[in-house]
């Protein structure tokens, strides 16, 4: 069977589609790059905003045009909240809800997935792992919070975590396949273990991975600020844990945060960021911000903007609030005009760009470990290698060798428009 896999949205969706690819290959099926060559197409959709929902529908239509003969199986958050809309699209053979997503491959192929059959998984994936450097691993799904703007809780259900031993085994396998970095993902990663009563389950998981696997780099995806205690930062004494924290703030104004039902405030967030920076030198802190949440006045936005400036994030995803039916915020009054949202978004984007440059600039001249991820072209002098430092600065270096999947000490030389120009220290390249 030939399968084409596509995903939209967050890293969790990416982790899920990667896991499906591994399962299909383990069962002897072929994952193809071109939709036109596939018998079946699986689409993992997103519904975080109206735009994401529209893109999900658009992608299904586009894939159907590319291959009208293929049966399309649609899953993910948009399929969860609007199965009827999806079902009417041409080519859609079935819609699989999020709770059954983990069994999608079994359902489609009719073959059970053998998670303990390590050897075939290793063999099947080894070829396809060439050029793959960073694996996303889903360790948790669902969320028990009730942020008023969030459709994800509706789409993903209550929080549930994978057993530690299961995650350790998967990371070991991925490392054997050649992956150099594992990124732990979840809808609400910080709540890992809460469903079995452990308040510091994520810290235990990270410790287990650092102790029981040899994966060279471990990275955490998004963490809600209220899930982290200052003790958590002790984990970074181990240099294999990447110095990058993505802490979604959503708004820098206490009144807006309250309406969003976020369990943090300016003061708490400031304290957390200060503690993190103190304990982890060179830490990159990034965030998500929503502008134009219902009732966000000019004054609230001004407070938010000032606080965001003070936090000096090294990167920021700025979203314009989009009303999602079924959420508490959808029933709130005082919607913000689209034109106002656009202006606020543009202001924060500008702030984000400046802060990103400042962070890169502070790191210039330093020698940092870079995991080279891909080649973006070639010049007369060599290949253009692109990679990321452990603290998530995008770098590129022209080098006679393809460095993909190597980790090299690398000097950061100069800020360029799309990345920092860098020099891998040749005598210390070990790959």
Is residue 143 near ligand SF4 by the rule CB under 6 A?
yes
The correct pick among 71, 111, 128, 145 for binding ligand SF4 (CB under 6 A) is: 145
Is residue 147 near ligand SF4 by the rule CB under 6 A?
yes
Question: In this complex, which beta carbon is closest to ligand SF4, that of residue 153 or of residue 405?
Answer: 153
Distance of CA 421 to the CA centre of its chain: 25
CB of 213 to ligand SF4, least distance (A): 27
Question: In this complex, which beta carbon is closest to ligand SF4, that of residue 193 or of residue 387?
Answer: 193
Tokens of 289: 């911000």
Is residue 153 near ligand SF4 by the rule CB under 6 A?
yes
Tokens of 238: 């181990």
Strand ranges across the sheet with 181-186: 160-161, 134-141, 181-186, 217-220
φ, ψ of residue 334 in degrees (nearest 5): 55, 55
Tokens 């990270």 -> residue: 206
> Which region among 11-19, 149-157, 325-333, 361-369 touches ligand SF4 (by CB under 6 A)?
149-157
CB of 156 to ligand SF4, least distance (A): 7
Strand partners, 72: 41, 92
Is residue 48 near ligand SF4 by the rule CB under 6 A?
no
Pick the closest to residue 316 from 350, 282, 365, 367 (CA basis): 350
Site string for ligand SF4, 173-202 (x = CB under 6 A): --------------xx--------------
Q: Which residues of 360-393 are buried (b: 16+ CB within 10 A; e: fewer)?
A: beebeeebbbbbbbbbeeeeeeebbbbbbbbbbb
> Which region among 120-128, 140-148, 267-275, 409-417 touches ligand SF4 (by CB under 6 A)?
140-148
- Determine the Cα–Cα distance for residues 324 and 241; give it in Å rounded to an integer: 36
The correct pick among 224, 296, 356, 390 for binding ligand SF4 (CB under 6 A) is: 224
Question: In this complex, which beta carbon is closest to ligand SF4, that of residue 252 or of residue 387?
Answer: 252
Could you give the residue ranges of the DSSP H alpha helices within 280-367?
298-311, 338-363
Question: In this complex, which beta carbon is closest to ligand SF4, that of residue 327 or of residue 404?
Answer: 327
Question: In this complex, which beta carbon is closest to ligand SF4, that of residue 160 or of residue 188?
Answer: 188
Maximum distance among all alpha carbons in the chain? 63
Count of residues engaged in binding ligand SF4, rule: CB under 6 A: 9
The footprint of ligand SF4 (CB under 6 A) covers: 143, 145, 147, 150, 152-153, 187-188, 224
């Amino acid at each position: 069977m030939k399968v084409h896999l596509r995903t939209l949205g967050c890293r969790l969706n990416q982790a899920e589609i990667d896991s499906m690819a591994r399962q299909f290959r383990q069962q002897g099926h072929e994952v193809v790059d071109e939709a036109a060559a596939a018998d079946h197409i699986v689409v993992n959709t997103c519904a975080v905003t109206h735009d994401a929902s529209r893109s999900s529908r658009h992608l299904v239509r586009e894939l159907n045009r590319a291959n009208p003969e293929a049966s399309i199986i649609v899953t993910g958050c948009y399929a969860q909240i609007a199965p009827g809309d999806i079902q009417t699209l041409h080519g859609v053979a079935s819609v699989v809800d999020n709770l059954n997503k983990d069994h999608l491959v079994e359902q489609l192929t009719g073959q059970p997935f053998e998670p303990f059959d390590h050897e075939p998984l290793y063999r099947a994936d080894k070829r396809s792992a060439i050029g793959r450097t960073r694996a996303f691993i889903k360790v948790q799904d669902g969320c028990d919070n009730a942020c008023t703007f969030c459709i994800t809780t509706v789409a993903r259900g209550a929080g549930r975590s994978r057993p530690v031993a299961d995650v350790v085994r998967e990371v070991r396998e991925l490392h054997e396949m050649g992956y150099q970095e594992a990124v732990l993902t979840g809808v609400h990663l910080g709540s890992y273990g809460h469903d079995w009563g452990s308040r510091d389950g994520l810290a235990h998981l990270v410790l287990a991975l650092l102790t029981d696997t040899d994966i060279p780099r471990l990275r955490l995806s998004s963490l809600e600020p209220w899930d982290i205690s200052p003790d958590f930062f002790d984990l970074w004494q181990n240099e294999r844990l990447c110095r990058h924290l993505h802490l979604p703030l959503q708004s820098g104004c206490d009144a807006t945060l309250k309406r969003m039902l976020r369990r943090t405030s300016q003061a708490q967030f400031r304290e957390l960021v200060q503690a993190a920076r103190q304990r982890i030198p060179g830490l990159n802190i990034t965030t998500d911000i929503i502008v134009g949440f219902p009732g966000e006045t000019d004054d609230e936005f001004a407070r938010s903007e000032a606080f965001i400036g003070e936090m000096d994030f090294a990167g920021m995803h700025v979203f314009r609030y989009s009303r999602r039916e079924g959420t508490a915020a959808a029933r709130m009054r005082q919607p913000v005009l689209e034109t106002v949202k656009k202006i606020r978004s543009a202001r924060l984007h500008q702030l984000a760009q400046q802060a990103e440059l400042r962070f890169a600039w502070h790191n210039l001249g330093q020698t940092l470990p870079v995991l080279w991820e891909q080649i973006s072209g070639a010049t007369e002098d060599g290949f253009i290698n692109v990679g990321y430092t452990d603290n998530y600065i995008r770098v590129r270096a022209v080098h006679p060798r393809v460095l993909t999947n190597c980790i090299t000490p690398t000097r950061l030389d100069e800020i360029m428009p799309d990345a920092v120009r860098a020099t891998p220290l040749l005598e210390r390249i070990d790959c």
